[in-house]
Amino acid sequence: MNTYKNMLIAETIADVRAQVREWKAAGLTVGLVPTMGYLHEGHTSLVDAAAAQCDKVVASVFVNPTQFGPGEDLEAYPRDFDRDCGLLEEHGCSLVFHPSVEEMYAPDAATYVEILDDMPKQLCGKTRPIHFRGVCTVVSKLFNIVTPDKAFFGQKDAQQLVVIRRMVRDMSYGIEIVGCPIIREEDGLAKSSRNTYLNAEERQAALVLSRSIALAKKLIADGNRNAEVVLTAMRALIEEEPLAKIDYVSAVDGYNLQPVEGLEPGTLVAMAVYIGKTRLIDNFIVE
């Protein structure tokens, strides 16, 4: 176990378990913030929430290979562990779990956690078929390693949040899942580690995602509750941007992710759009 200023750094499962046992023996509560690193204000808002609600905060920094499909950006995914440590320590993290792939997955590992209904097949799952199996597996492992009282996830990855809630219910984990709001740049772009892939022209073009959300919210506020009418307007706006290519723009039930016709309170309106070669996601919940 190493230290970074006042924060512990663990690279092994055994070290994390030993430290958490010590904290729990002292009656302390533990919050978990799973991340893939290259942290931004969205991640640190989760750490802030965990620090406010729990006595100790564990953040994982692990680029999980099982949630990347062939041809996706596993090798290119940005990494800067030293910078991550500085941000985590500054925001009150108690321990960083930074394992190797070999520490997390045995060479002959053959066990996965997977939701077998249609939830993981909707939205991002249509073009990333193994993604949520990888997400559920690694989050399940982190839950077993850290045994947190609460775990904190961002609303920007809305499908992930819904899927994790279902997994926790179905597997009786007894962990409270806390969803935290999307953090945006001043011009509206949702914070994302993948924003670093964008050049200046693409960065400007990416604003079409948040503009389409603003348009949808205005249409809904004006009384338009027909999903296809609102989605068509969103798609038309996005298609006006030459650098944008739509993966999906969809409205689904916020609990089971099934497509809906009406935009009732709690409906999730979500999108994935390629800006150049970079796939960005964004969403909002209908009020």
Sorting pLDDT into bands at 50, 70 and 90, what band is 4? confident
Model confidence at 59, pLDDT cuts 50, 70, 90, reads very high
Please indicate whether residue 43 is annotated as part of the active site: yes
Residue 210 is predicted with a pLDDT of 98
Q: Which of 40, 43, 91, 98 is catalytic?
A: 43
pLDDT digits (tens, 9 = 90+) for 102-136: 999 999 999 999 999 999 999 999 999 999 999 99
The answer to whether residues 147 and 29 touch, using CB atoms and an 8 Å cutoff, is no
Backbone angles phi, psi at 71, to 5 degrees: 85, -5
Positive or negative CA dihedral for 89, 98, 278, 120?
A: negative
Q: Give tens-digit pLDDT for 14-37.
A: 999 999 999 999 999 999 999 999
CB 30 within 8 A of CB 54: yes
For residues 40 and 174, the answer to whether their CB atoms sit within 8 Å is no
User: Do 78 and 181 touch, CB atoms closer than 8 A?
Assistant: no
Domains of the chain, first to last: 2-180 (3.40.50.620), 193-282 (3.30.1300.10)
Query: Beta partners for 190?
Result: 184
Q: What is the largest CA-CA distance in the chain?
A: 58
